Amino acid sequence: MTPYRAPGWLPGGQAQTLWPLLIKPKAIPLRRERWETPDGDFIDVDHLDGPPESPLLVLFHGLEGSARSHYAISTARACRRMGWRLALPHFRGCSGELNRRPRAYHSGDSAEIDWILRRLHQDNTGRRLHAAGISLGGNALLKWAGEQQQAAASLVSGVAGICAPLDLAACGHQLARGFNRIYTRHFLDTLKSRSAARLARFPGLFDETRMRRSRNLWDFDDAVTGPVHGFAGADDYWARSSAIAWLKTIAVPALVVNPRNDPFLPASALPGPNDISPCVRLEQPATGGHVGFVSGAFPGNLDWLPQRLLHFFTSELS
């Protein structure tokens, strides 16, 4: 498949990141299913149904994303055209309703990825199952694949991580600089609101004053994400949850796409050939932004990313 290249009328990583929000296609109807988790919580999984014998693509969303994110909508539309089934699991609290337990979700939540994939595999009764993750979801999925090594092949045909923040420290500090702080403010608006609601349900879960004073992701992760999920703080969370350390042990076909102009992750932090296993294919186009991948004549479309995923899972697995 043709490597990604941004159209000439859309220059720069910031524009390539933000433009998809303006041309997001219309969502198609999905069937929602609520799953009870082993610890007494729930997640909501949105399904695009199709022929029972067709492949199933599982798509894990990014930070504060959902089935309404532009990449989820464009992937659902592409799957419908191909006659594939699609499952869009929502991480806890991201489907529009606060979850029941104190915990939420985080970039290294490979245990949740494992539970979801095992449940889908069981329901899929031997048919092809492919897994992809966008941004945070991509990091968690790639970490899972590295941890599972050969065992991952019993559940999935392969994995794909798109714009995954493979080095969480590099990503977190990058988002605290310059124009990138607009993304941080967007994330913190919803993270703080949801965290406040969780704190009202579980008093003393974390330091409310520190949470409300957070001005960047390090502040928030040090006050909330880290302590709530068993980490010593932001630095410990970022170090233990970064997928880059697990790329060498992935033993299923893996596609890892990271544009070099992604505002979220500096090109200097991207992995090279010595950082990966022979099963991993790195694609690091010069353009694309953060989950942008706009293509075509003005005003453009969002077809390239779902086409890349479907091509990988249909033509490039070995």
Task: Give the residue numbers annotated as catalytic, written as ranges.
Answer: 135, 262, 290
Instruction: Specify which residues 161 forms β-bridges with.
Output: 133, 256
Say what the alpha-carbon torsion angle 280, 285, 288, 291 is, to the nearest 10 degrees: 10
Say if residues 147 and 110 touch (Cβ distance below 8 Å).
yes
Per residue in 75-113, is it b (16+ CB within 10 Å) or e — as a string? bbbbbeebebbbbbbbbbbbbeeebbeebbbbbbbbebb
User: Smallest Cα–Cα separation from 262: which of 170, 156, 157?
Assistant: 170
Q: Is the dihedral of CA 184, 187, 191, 192 positive or negative?
A: positive
Say if residues 281 and 308 touch (Cβ distance below 8 Å).
no
Say if residues 194 and 93 touch (Cβ distance below 8 Å).
yes
Residue 94 Ramachandran class (φ > 0 left, ψ -120 to 50 alpha, else beta):
alpha
For tokens 């941890």, the residue is 147
DSSP 8-state secondary structure symbol assigned to residue 59: E
Say if residues 149 and 249 touch (Cβ distance below 8 Å).
yes
